[in-house]
Structure 1
């Protein structure tokens, strides 16, 4: 088999309601998850041993230790009962610990690519079990399309189709790890409020999202006040239909009707904050 590539797009929590907490301390979510047309890339080629090369503009942000791609490979091999190698190259473009599922997207892409390279398959339940053992966002990243994500990430339902729209993703290059954000959250739990109808256009999507929220925004700002600055910078751009934080932060996004508006907003934010990571991208609505 010749080499091939698998994309690992950024995961975007368009909404995120914290609806409860399990006895083991894990929080229960109800989240509308979509993906953006920007992300990492994994290249696969046959090899006698399992090896990983990491490159790209944010490669130096990856913490020391076993990479999540290698973890995914070892868990897949064990679940499938195979002992095969692979040469994997990860081109890292997304910031790390950023609320857009960069590591989870890489792991999901690794599972997809290695099942193809090794010519193996797992039953859906078994694959979900492997994905969830890697991370809570890996199952939804495996789905790779708009989904309603519930539980701790293991319960997925297809979401209504999303309309054509563009996003501006902005990260202040400050890592924000998930556990402290959940720990800092206070107040009552939210009610589930899933999107039940397909919005007709970007404006209708913005209106639907505006009556919902990301419950992790206040604790994220409490831990890293710069998140509030990012939201304000996005909100101040022309034609922004909605600013919001994704996941547990620190990446925030603006929603725009089209590419021109998103790129103009990106230019404005990048000029004002040259140290921030700024990426306009289409919303992948199907």
Structure 2
């Protein structure tokens, strides 16, 4: 049997998001705390002379028309950075909705980098993979390890937050794609100041209390473009045990914080059946 390297590509969730400025080249500066859910896509890679990509999974159809998937760009970038000459048969098992504010494409690219680094024996390490990831997009470096991290700059400045308590996470998307550039263009208001992180967060309720006033500076813009987001947020907030409801990133995916993964899973099952929804735990860092 051919060797198969499998890597998860977990959803990235921005617990808060503040737009702190804008560079001369148009990129916005951010301050955000990102965590990763156990929900996600899966990348599998096997040895092959050529480099190919196959799409499977319930959300694969939305990617069929893409002329050059970010996963293939990640593979070519790793080969260029390391001198690897092998190919690979890559399969992307797609479970996350596209253009949904939870970093699906970025997570897929980062998972492809990890899988091919192992398959090709390029031994880049975390720093090396992050350097390649930075050439692919602002959200890709944070997905290399897929652990709780504070993101600043355009996403390339990563630092450790205080230890986070265990909590349940609910994700829901109304199956409406919301491109990030459109949301940034619709944003109004001044820039926000960066935060001072607390030294300790005791439990899920304390986490929600700390996050509540911090907000997401893109939420109002996202709702103006996709009013259904307000309906999703209200439905999450109405679930028993919900401690906080907010959009992730630029939307349209919304999240809820609960005391336990089991509460989050029950709440997700109670939401509109036509929405994409998931409830469970956050994931550990990738190896």
TM-score (norm 1): 0.95
1:276 maps to what in 2? 275
Q: Per the alignment, do residues 189 and 77 of structure 1 end up closer, same or farther by CA in structure 2, a change over 3 Å counting?
A: same
Shift of 1:125: 5.7
Using the TM superposition, give the Cα deviation of residue 283 of structure 1 relative to its aligned residue in structure 2, in angstroms: 2.1
Aligned to 1:40: 41
User: Paired residue for 2:204?
Assistant: 202
8 Å contact kept, 1:241–1:256: yes
Name the counterpart of 1:223.
225
Aligned counterpart, 1:135: 137
Q: 2:58 matched to which residue of 1?
A: 57
- Any conservation in 2 of the 1:32–1:195 contact (CA below 8 Å)? no
Displacement of 1:122: 3.5
1:194 to partner: Cα distance: 4.4
2:107 aligned partner:
105
Deviations 1:185-217 (A, max 9, x none): 111100111433231211111111112111000
Per the alignment, residue 81 of structure 1 pairs with 83
Q: State how 1:255-274 maps to structure 2 within 5 Å.
A: 255-269=257-271, 273-274=272-273
- Scaled by the length of structure 2, the TM-score of the pair is 0.95
Corresponding residue of 2:146: 144
Work out whether residues 5 and 118 of structure 2, in 8 Å CA contact, stay in contact via their aligned partners in 1: no
Q: Deviations over 1:19-73 (max 9, x none)?
A: 0000111100000011011100111111111111110000011142111110100
Structure 2 matches for 1:140-219, cutoff 5 A? 140-219=142-221
Provide the aligned C-alpha RMSD in A: 1.5
Q: Which runs of 5+ in 2 are unaligned?
A: none
Secondary structure of the residue that 2:202 maps to in structure 1?
A: coil
Q: Which stretches in structure 1 are left out of the alignment for 5+ residues?
A: none
**1:147–1:113 Cα change, 3 Å:** same
| Residue equivalent to 1:243 | 245
1:15 aligns with 2:13: no
Q: For residues 284 and 73 of structure 2, what CA distance do their matches in structure 1 show?
A: 29
Contact 1:35 1:145 in 2 (8 A): yes
Q: Shift of the alpha carbon at 1:126?
A: 5.1
